[in-house]
Structure 1
Amino acid sequence: MNDPLTLFGLVHTSLLEIVSFALALVMVVLNIRQSPWAWLFSITSAALYAVVFYDSKLYGDMSLQFFFIAVSLWGWYQWLFGGVSHHGVLVSRLTSKGWLYSGLAWLFGFVAIASFLRLFTDTDVPHIDAFLTSGSLVGQLLLSRKKLENWHVWIGIDLIYIGLYIHKNLYLTALLFSLFVVLAAVGLRTWKKSLANQFAEVIN
Protein backbone atom coordinates (compact mmCIF):
# COMPACT_ATOMS: atom_id res chain seq x y z
CA MET A 1 0.00 0.00 0.00
CA ASN A 2 3.01 2.27 0.49
CA ASP A 3 4.58 1.36 -2.86
CA PRO A 4 5.52 4.45 -4.92
CA LEU A 5 3.22 5.61 -7.69
CA THR A 6 2.88 8.68 -9.87
CA LEU A 7 -0.31 10.73 -9.66
CA PHE A 8 -1.42 12.45 -12.88
CA GLY A 9 2.06 11.86 -14.24
CA LEU A 10 3.44 14.61 -11.98
CA VAL A 11 3.25 13.84 -8.27
CA HIS A 12 5.21 10.93 -6.79
CA THR A 13 3.22 9.47 -3.92
CA SER A 14 1.71 6.21 -2.62
CA LEU A 15 -1.77 4.86 -2.04
CA LEU A 16 -1.14 5.07 1.70
CA GLU A 17 -0.27 8.76 1.46
CA ILE A 18 -3.37 9.41 -0.66
CA VAL A 19 -5.68 7.76 1.88
CA SER A 20 -3.94 9.56 4.76
CA PHE A 21 -4.29 12.83 2.83
CA ALA A 22 -8.04 12.38 2.39
CA LEU A 23 -8.67 11.42 6.02
CA ALA A 24 -6.62 14.35 7.34
CA LEU A 25 -8.49 16.78 5.12
CA VAL A 26 -11.86 15.57 6.41
CA MET A 27 -10.50 15.78 9.95
CA VAL A 28 -9.68 19.50 9.68
CA VAL A 29 -13.04 20.33 8.11
CA LEU A 30 -14.78 18.57 11.00
CA ASN A 31 -12.53 20.38 13.50
CA ILE A 32 -13.67 23.71 12.06
CA ARG A 33 -17.28 22.59 12.51
CA GLN A 34 -16.44 21.48 16.08
CA SER A 35 -17.67 17.97 15.32
CA PRO A 36 -16.43 15.29 17.77
CA TRP A 37 -16.23 12.90 14.80
CA ALA A 38 -13.08 14.78 13.78
CA TRP A 39 -11.16 12.80 16.37
CA LEU A 40 -12.01 9.46 14.72
CA PHE A 41 -10.53 10.70 11.45
CA SER A 42 -7.55 12.08 13.36
CA ILE A 43 -6.79 8.67 14.88
CA THR A 44 -7.05 6.83 11.57
CA SER A 45 -5.06 9.38 9.61
CA ALA A 46 -2.32 9.50 12.25
CA ALA A 47 -1.92 5.72 12.22
CA LEU A 48 -1.48 5.69 8.45
CA TYR A 49 0.83 8.70 8.37
CA ALA A 50 3.11 7.02 10.94
CA VAL A 51 3.98 4.48 8.24
CA VAL A 52 4.44 7.17 5.58
CA PHE A 53 6.81 9.20 7.76
CA TYR A 54 8.78 6.12 8.85
CA ASP A 55 9.58 5.35 5.23
CA SER A 56 10.69 8.98 4.74
CA LYS A 57 12.92 8.90 7.86
CA LEU A 58 10.89 11.65 9.50
CA TYR A 59 11.05 9.92 12.87
CA GLY A 60 9.93 12.92 14.87
CA ASP A 61 6.79 13.18 12.74
CA MET A 62 6.31 9.42 12.94
CA SER A 63 6.44 9.48 16.75
CA LEU A 64 4.12 12.49 16.73
CA GLN A 65 1.40 10.40 15.11
CA PHE A 66 1.26 8.06 18.11
CA PHE A 67 0.93 11.07 20.40
CA PHE A 68 -1.84 12.37 18.14
CA ILE A 69 -3.70 9.09 18.61
CA ALA A 70 -3.46 9.35 22.41
CA VAL A 71 -4.44 13.04 22.48
CA SER A 72 -7.26 12.40 20.00
CA LEU A 73 -8.83 9.92 22.40
CA TRP A 74 -8.56 12.51 25.18
CA GLY A 75 -9.78 15.29 22.90
CA TRP A 76 -12.76 13.21 21.83
CA TYR A 77 -13.74 12.84 25.48
CA GLN A 78 -13.20 16.56 26.15
CA TRP A 79 -15.39 17.63 23.23
CA LEU A 80 -18.16 15.26 24.29
CA PHE A 81 -18.04 15.29 28.11
CA GLY A 82 -15.53 17.95 29.19
CA GLY A 83 -16.20 21.34 30.74
CA VAL A 84 -17.93 22.35 33.93
CA SER A 85 -21.31 20.99 32.81
CA HIS A 86 -19.73 17.83 31.29
CA HIS A 87 -21.48 18.59 28.01
CA GLY A 88 -18.25 19.32 26.15
CA VAL A 89 -15.68 22.11 26.30
CA LEU A 90 -16.45 25.46 24.66
CA VAL A 91 -14.19 27.69 22.58
CA SER A 92 -12.01 29.88 24.81
CA ARG A 93 -8.82 31.94 24.70
CA LEU A 94 -5.46 31.24 26.30
CA THR A 95 -4.61 33.24 29.41
CA SER A 96 -1.19 34.86 29.82
CA LYS A 97 -0.17 31.88 31.94
CA GLY A 98 -1.45 29.55 29.22
CA TRP A 99 0.76 31.31 26.65
CA LEU A 100 3.77 30.97 28.94
CA TYR A 101 3.19 27.28 29.60
CA SER A 102 2.63 26.60 25.90
CA GLY A 103 5.86 28.38 24.97
CA LEU A 104 7.87 26.54 27.61
CA ALA A 105 6.38 23.20 26.56
CA TRP A 106 7.31 23.92 22.94
CA LEU A 107 10.88 24.83 23.90
CA PHE A 108 11.35 21.84 26.20
CA GLY A 109 9.88 19.49 23.60
CA PHE A 110 12.16 20.90 20.90
CA VAL A 111 15.33 20.39 22.97
CA ALA A 112 14.36 16.87 24.05
CA ILE A 113 13.22 15.68 20.62
CA ALA A 114 16.16 17.23 18.76
CA SER A 115 18.61 15.57 21.15
CA PHE A 116 16.94 12.22 20.68
CA LEU A 117 16.83 12.49 16.89
CA ARG A 118 20.51 13.49 16.66
CA LEU A 119 21.69 10.69 18.90
CA PHE A 120 19.48 7.76 17.97
CA THR A 121 18.24 8.20 14.39
CA ASP A 122 19.64 8.72 10.90
CA THR A 123 17.38 11.65 10.02
CA ASP A 124 19.00 14.46 8.07
CA VAL A 125 16.65 17.14 9.47
CA PRO A 126 16.74 16.67 13.27
CA HIS A 127 16.25 20.30 14.29
CA ILE A 128 13.39 21.32 12.00
CA ASP A 129 11.73 17.95 12.57
CA ALA A 130 12.00 18.47 16.34
CA PHE A 131 10.78 22.08 16.18
CA LEU A 132 7.71 21.17 14.13
CA THR A 133 7.01 18.01 16.13
CA SER A 134 7.09 19.90 19.43
CA GLY A 135 4.94 22.70 18.03
CA SER A 136 2.43 20.19 16.72
CA LEU A 137 2.17 18.62 20.16
CA VAL A 138 1.32 22.02 21.61
CA GLY A 139 -1.17 22.74 18.82
CA GLN A 140 -2.93 19.41 19.29
CA LEU A 141 -3.27 19.93 23.04
CA LEU A 142 -4.71 23.41 22.50
CA LEU A 143 -7.13 22.00 19.93
CA SER A 144 -8.31 19.31 22.32
CA ARG A 145 -9.22 22.04 24.83
CA LYS A 146 -10.80 24.21 22.08
CA LYS A 147 -8.37 27.05 22.63
CA LEU A 148 -8.77 29.59 19.83
CA GLU A 149 -5.01 30.04 19.59
CA ASN A 150 -4.54 26.50 18.33
CA TRP A 151 -5.28 27.86 14.84
CA HIS A 152 -2.47 30.42 15.13
CA VAL A 153 -0.07 27.61 16.00
CA TRP A 154 -1.24 25.44 13.12
CA ILE A 155 -0.96 28.23 10.55
CA GLY A 156 2.69 28.83 11.47
CA ILE A 157 3.56 25.15 11.76
CA ASP A 158 1.86 24.15 8.51
CA LEU A 159 3.64 26.86 6.51
CA ILE A 160 7.02 25.47 7.58
CA TYR A 161 5.89 21.86 7.06
CA ILE A 162 5.20 22.61 3.39
CA GLY A 163 8.89 23.25 2.77
CA LEU A 164 9.96 20.19 4.77
CA TYR A 165 7.69 17.82 2.87
CA ILE A 166 8.80 19.20 -0.49
CA HIS A 167 12.38 18.56 0.66
CA LYS A 168 11.37 14.97 1.47
CA ASN A 169 9.55 14.50 -1.87
CA LEU A 170 6.21 14.10 -0.09
CA TYR A 171 4.52 16.40 -2.58
CA LEU A 172 0.95 15.27 -1.89
CA THR A 173 1.46 15.85 1.82
CA ALA A 174 2.98 19.27 1.04
CA LEU A 175 -0.20 20.06 -0.89
CA LEU A 176 -2.26 18.83 2.04
CA PHE A 177 -0.47 21.21 4.39
CA SER A 178 -1.00 24.06 1.95
CA LEU A 179 -4.72 23.33 2.23
CA PHE A 180 -4.30 23.09 6.01
CA VAL A 181 -3.04 26.68 6.09
CA VAL A 182 -6.17 27.88 4.29
CA LEU A 183 -8.44 25.73 6.46
CA ALA A 184 -6.70 26.91 9.65
CA ALA A 185 -7.40 30.52 8.64
CA VAL A 186 -11.05 29.56 8.07
CA GLY A 187 -11.07 27.74 11.41
CA LEU A 188 -9.68 30.78 13.20
CA ARG A 189 -12.39 33.00 11.73
CA THR A 190 -15.16 30.48 12.43
CA TRP A 191 -14.11 29.89 16.03
CA LYS A 192 -13.85 33.65 16.64
CA LYS A 193 -17.50 33.92 15.62
CA SER A 194 -18.38 31.00 17.88
CA LEU A 195 -16.61 32.67 20.79
CA ALA A 196 -18.45 35.95 20.11
CA ASN A 197 -21.77 34.10 20.04
CA GLN A 198 -20.97 32.40 23.35
CA PHE A 199 -20.18 35.80 24.88
CA ALA A 200 -23.43 37.26 23.52
CA GLU A 201 -25.44 34.39 25.03
CA VAL A 202 -23.86 34.98 28.44
CA ILE A 203 -24.72 38.70 28.32
CA ASN A 204 -28.30 38.00 27.26
Structure 2
Amino acid sequence: MMQEILSKTTWLEWFGVSFAVVQVLLAQKNNIHNYLFGIAGILLALYVKFNARLYAEFTLDLYYLVMSIYGWLFWKYGKKQSETPITLTTRIEKYKAIGIVLGTFLLFYLFLTHYTDSDVPVWDSVVTAFAWAGMWLMAKRKVENWVLLNISNFIAVPLLIHKDLYLYAALTAFLFIVAIFGYINWNKIAKQTHYAS
Protein backbone atom coordinates (compact mmCIF):
# COMPACT_ATOMS: atom_id res chain seq x y z
CA MET A 1 0.00 0.00 0.00
CA MET A 2 2.71 2.49 1.00
CA GLN A 3 4.77 1.62 -2.08
CA GLU A 4 1.71 2.21 -4.28
CA ILE A 5 1.15 5.62 -2.65
CA LEU A 6 4.79 6.59 -3.10
CA SER A 7 4.79 5.43 -6.72
CA LYS A 8 1.89 7.80 -7.47
CA THR A 9 3.63 10.75 -5.81
CA THR A 10 5.69 13.00 -8.09
CA TRP A 11 8.67 15.12 -7.09
CA LEU A 12 6.51 18.19 -7.77
CA GLU A 13 4.12 17.01 -5.04
CA TRP A 14 7.01 16.46 -2.62
CA PHE A 15 8.41 19.95 -3.16
CA GLY A 16 4.97 21.57 -3.21
CA VAL A 17 3.97 19.90 0.04
CA SER A 18 7.32 20.75 1.68
CA PHE A 19 6.92 24.44 0.85
CA ALA A 20 3.32 24.36 2.07
CA VAL A 21 4.36 22.81 5.41
CA VAL A 22 6.92 25.56 5.98
CA GLN A 23 4.34 28.19 4.96
CA VAL A 24 1.67 27.08 7.40
CA LEU A 25 4.12 26.71 10.28
CA LEU A 26 5.36 30.24 9.69
CA ALA A 27 1.78 31.56 9.37
CA GLN A 28 0.82 29.90 12.65
CA LYS A 29 3.82 31.66 14.25
CA ASN A 30 2.66 34.97 12.76
CA ASN A 31 5.78 35.19 10.54
CA ILE A 32 5.39 37.31 7.41
CA HIS A 33 7.78 35.07 5.43
CA ASN A 34 5.06 32.41 5.33
CA TYR A 35 3.83 33.99 2.11
CA LEU A 36 7.12 33.48 0.25
CA PHE A 37 7.09 29.73 0.91
CA GLY A 38 3.37 29.68 0.18
CA ILE A 39 3.86 31.21 -3.26
CA ALA A 40 6.50 28.59 -4.17
CA GLY A 41 4.23 25.75 -3.02
CA ILE A 42 1.22 27.18 -4.84
CA LEU A 43 3.04 27.36 -8.16
CA LEU A 44 3.84 23.64 -7.92
CA ALA A 45 0.32 22.74 -6.74
CA LEU A 46 -1.20 24.50 -9.77
CA TYR A 47 0.41 22.00 -12.11
CA VAL A 48 -0.50 18.97 -9.98
CA LYS A 49 -4.16 19.97 -9.40
CA PHE A 50 -4.79 20.78 -13.06
CA ASN A 51 -3.49 17.38 -14.14
CA ALA A 52 -5.74 15.72 -11.51
CA ARG A 53 -8.78 17.52 -13.02
CA LEU A 54 -9.43 19.35 -9.74
CA TYR A 55 -10.32 22.52 -11.58
CA ALA A 56 -11.95 24.36 -8.68
CA GLU A 57 -8.94 23.62 -6.50
CA PHE A 58 -6.68 24.74 -9.38
CA THR A 59 -8.57 28.02 -9.46
CA LEU A 60 -8.36 28.12 -5.66
CA ASP A 61 -4.59 27.89 -5.97
CA LEU A 62 -4.63 30.79 -8.46
CA TYR A 63 -6.64 32.71 -5.88
CA TYR A 64 -4.15 31.67 -3.18
CA LEU A 65 -1.38 33.04 -5.36
CA VAL A 66 -3.05 36.43 -5.74
CA MET A 67 -4.10 36.54 -2.08
CA SER A 68 -0.62 35.50 -0.96
CA ILE A 69 0.91 38.41 -2.81
CA TYR A 70 -1.83 40.71 -1.46
CA GLY A 71 -1.50 39.25 2.05
CA TRP A 72 2.28 39.67 2.07
CA LEU A 73 1.94 43.33 1.08
CA PHE A 74 -0.95 43.91 3.53
CA TRP A 75 0.93 42.28 6.42
CA LYS A 76 4.05 44.27 5.59
CA TYR A 77 2.52 47.69 4.94
CA GLY A 78 -1.14 47.66 5.98
CA LYS A 79 -3.18 50.83 5.82
CA LYS A 80 -0.77 52.97 7.87
CA GLN A 81 2.52 51.70 6.49
CA SER A 82 3.04 49.49 9.55
CA GLU A 83 2.27 45.85 10.31
CA THR A 84 -1.47 45.23 10.44
CA PRO A 85 -2.56 43.73 13.80
CA ILE A 86 -4.44 40.44 14.21
CA THR A 87 -8.08 41.13 15.10
CA LEU A 88 -11.41 39.37 15.42
CA THR A 89 -13.81 39.45 12.50
CA THR A 90 -16.43 42.19 12.57
CA ARG A 91 -20.11 41.48 11.88
CA ILE A 92 -19.82 43.02 8.40
CA GLU A 93 -16.77 40.87 7.64
CA LYS A 94 -18.66 37.76 8.78
CA TYR A 95 -21.46 38.56 6.33
CA LYS A 96 -18.90 39.12 3.58
CA ALA A 97 -17.23 35.79 4.38
CA ILE A 98 -20.60 33.98 4.21
CA GLY A 99 -21.25 35.74 0.90
CA ILE A 100 -17.88 34.59 -0.42
CA VAL A 101 -18.64 30.98 0.59
CA LEU A 102 -22.10 30.95 -1.04
CA GLY A 103 -21.13 32.93 -4.12
CA THR A 104 -17.96 30.96 -4.73
CA PHE A 105 -19.72 27.62 -4.33
CA LEU A 106 -22.45 28.56 -6.80
CA LEU A 107 -19.99 29.95 -9.33
CA PHE A 108 -17.72 26.93 -9.25
CA TYR A 109 -20.52 24.39 -9.21
CA LEU A 110 -22.11 25.94 -12.30
CA PHE A 111 -18.76 26.25 -14.05
CA LEU A 112 -17.63 22.70 -13.24
CA THR A 113 -20.92 21.06 -14.24
CA HIS A 114 -21.30 22.98 -17.51
CA TYR A 115 -17.78 23.62 -18.79
CA THR A 116 -15.44 20.92 -17.48
CA ASP A 117 -15.07 17.16 -17.26
CA SER A 118 -14.91 17.27 -13.44
CA ASP A 119 -16.20 14.13 -11.78
CA VAL A 120 -16.50 15.80 -8.34
CA PRO A 121 -18.15 19.20 -8.97
CA VAL A 122 -20.00 19.52 -5.63
CA TRP A 123 -17.12 18.25 -3.52
CA ASP A 124 -14.53 20.38 -5.31
CA SER A 125 -16.75 23.48 -5.11
CA VAL A 126 -17.44 23.16 -1.37
CA VAL A 127 -13.75 22.76 -0.51
CA THR A 128 -12.89 25.74 -2.65
CA ALA A 129 -15.66 27.99 -1.34
CA PHE A 130 -14.64 27.71 2.31
CA ALA A 131 -10.98 28.07 1.44
CA TRP A 132 -11.59 31.25 -0.59
CA ALA A 133 -13.34 32.89 2.34
CA GLY A 134 -10.71 31.67 4.80
CA MET A 135 -7.84 32.98 2.71
CA TRP A 136 -9.58 36.36 2.40
CA LEU A 137 -9.83 36.56 6.19
CA MET A 138 -6.20 35.45 6.59
CA ALA A 139 -5.00 38.22 4.28
CA LYS A 140 -6.91 40.67 6.50
CA ARG A 141 -5.32 39.04 9.57
CA LYS A 142 -8.62 37.90 11.09
CA VAL A 143 -8.59 35.14 13.73
CA GLU A 144 -11.56 33.31 12.22
CA ASN A 145 -9.66 32.56 8.99
CA TRP A 146 -8.48 29.35 10.68
CA VAL A 147 -12.06 28.14 11.23
CA LEU A 148 -13.05 28.48 7.57
CA LEU A 149 -9.78 27.02 6.35
CA ASN A 150 -10.30 24.03 8.64
CA ILE A 151 -13.79 23.38 7.31
CA SER A 152 -12.20 23.29 3.86
CA ASN A 153 -9.36 21.05 5.09
CA PHE A 154 -11.76 18.59 6.73
CA ILE A 155 -13.72 18.16 3.51
CA ALA A 156 -10.62 18.17 1.28
CA VAL A 157 -8.82 15.18 2.83
CA PRO A 158 -11.18 12.51 1.46
CA LEU A 159 -11.42 14.36 -1.87
CA LEU A 160 -7.66 14.28 -2.31
CA ILE A 161 -7.54 10.59 -1.35
CA HIS A 162 -10.27 9.94 -3.93
CA LYS A 163 -8.02 11.59 -6.51
CA ASP A 164 -4.96 9.53 -5.44
CA LEU A 165 -3.19 12.67 -4.22
CA TYR A 166 -2.14 11.01 -0.98
CA LEU A 167 0.68 13.40 -0.16
CA TYR A 168 -1.62 16.41 -0.53
CA ALA A 169 -4.20 14.58 1.62
CA ALA A 170 -1.56 14.06 4.31
CA LEU A 171 -0.55 17.72 4.00
CA THR A 172 -4.18 18.79 4.38
CA ALA A 173 -4.60 16.64 7.50
CA PHE A 174 -1.43 18.25 8.87
CA LEU A 175 -2.79 21.70 7.99
CA PHE A 176 -5.96 20.86 9.89
CA ILE A 177 -3.95 20.23 13.06
CA VAL A 178 -1.74 23.29 12.59
CA ALA A 179 -4.81 25.46 11.98
CA ILE A 180 -6.18 24.52 15.41
CA PHE A 181 -3.00 25.86 16.99
CA GLY A 182 -3.05 28.84 14.63
CA TYR A 183 -6.52 29.74 15.84
CA ILE A 184 -5.47 29.46 19.50
CA ASN A 185 -2.32 31.52 18.93
CA TRP A 186 -3.98 34.24 16.84
CA ASN A 187 -6.91 34.50 19.26
CA LYS A 188 -4.46 35.04 22.12
CA ILE A 189 -2.59 37.72 20.13
CA ALA A 190 -5.86 39.46 19.19
CA LYS A 191 -6.97 39.57 22.84
CA GLN A 192 -3.60 40.94 23.96
CA THR A 193 -3.73 43.60 21.24
CA HIS A 194 -7.30 44.51 22.23
CA TYR A 195 -6.45 44.88 25.92
CA ALA A 196 -3.27 46.83 25.13
CA SER A 197 -5.16 49.42 23.08
TM-score range for the pair, normalised by the shorter chain length: over 0.9
Q: What is the CA deviation profile of residues 71-107 of structure 1, one whole-angstrom value per residue up to 9, with x for unaligned ones?
A: 1111011100004x32121111111221111111210
Q: Which amino acid aligns with 1:131?
A: V
Q: Which amino acid aligns with 2:10?
A: S
- Identity among equivalent positions (%) equals 27
| Aligned counterpart, 1:98 | 93
Whether the 8 Å contact between 2:70 and 2:139 is mirrored in structure 1 is yes
Matches within 5 A, 1:78-89: 78-83=74-79, 85-89=80-84
Find the aligned partners of 1:130 and 1:70 in 2 and give their Cα distance.
19
Aligned pairs, how many? 195
Q: TM-score, normalised to structure 2's length?
A: 0.95
| Aligned counterpart, 1:3 | none
Aligned-residue RMSD, C-alpha: 1.3
Whether the 8 Å contact between 2:128 and 2:152 is mirrored in structure 1 is no
Whether the 8 Å contact between 2:56 and 2:124 is mirrored in structure 1 is yes
Matches within 5 A, 1:36-185: 36-83=32-79, 85-185=80-180
Gaps of 5+ in 2: none
Higher relative contact order (CA 8 A, sep 6+): 2
Match of 1:9 among 3, 6, 29: 3
Alpha-carbon distance, 1:9 to partner: 2.0
Alpha-carbon distance, 1:10 to partner: 4.7
Secondary structure of the residue aligned to 1:46 is: helix
Secondary structure of the residue aligned to 1:124 is: coil
Q: Which runs of 4+ in 1 moved over 4 A?
A: none
Alpha-carbon distance, 1:196 to partner: 2.0
Q: What is the CA deviation profile of residues 124-158 of structure 1, one whole-angstrom value per residue up to 9, with x for unaligned ones?
A: 00111111112211111100011000011111110
Q: TM-score, normalised to structure 1's length?
A: 0.91
| Aligned counterpart, 2:15 | 19
Secondary structure of the residue aligned to 2:9 is: strand
Gaps of 5+ in 1: 1-5
Secondary structure of the residue aligned to 1:13 is: coil
Q: What is the CA deviation profile of residues 175-196 of structure 1, one whole-angstrom value per residue up to 9, with x for unaligned ones?
A: 1011001100010111111112
Find the aligned partners of 1:67 and 1:100 in 2 and give their Cα distance.
20
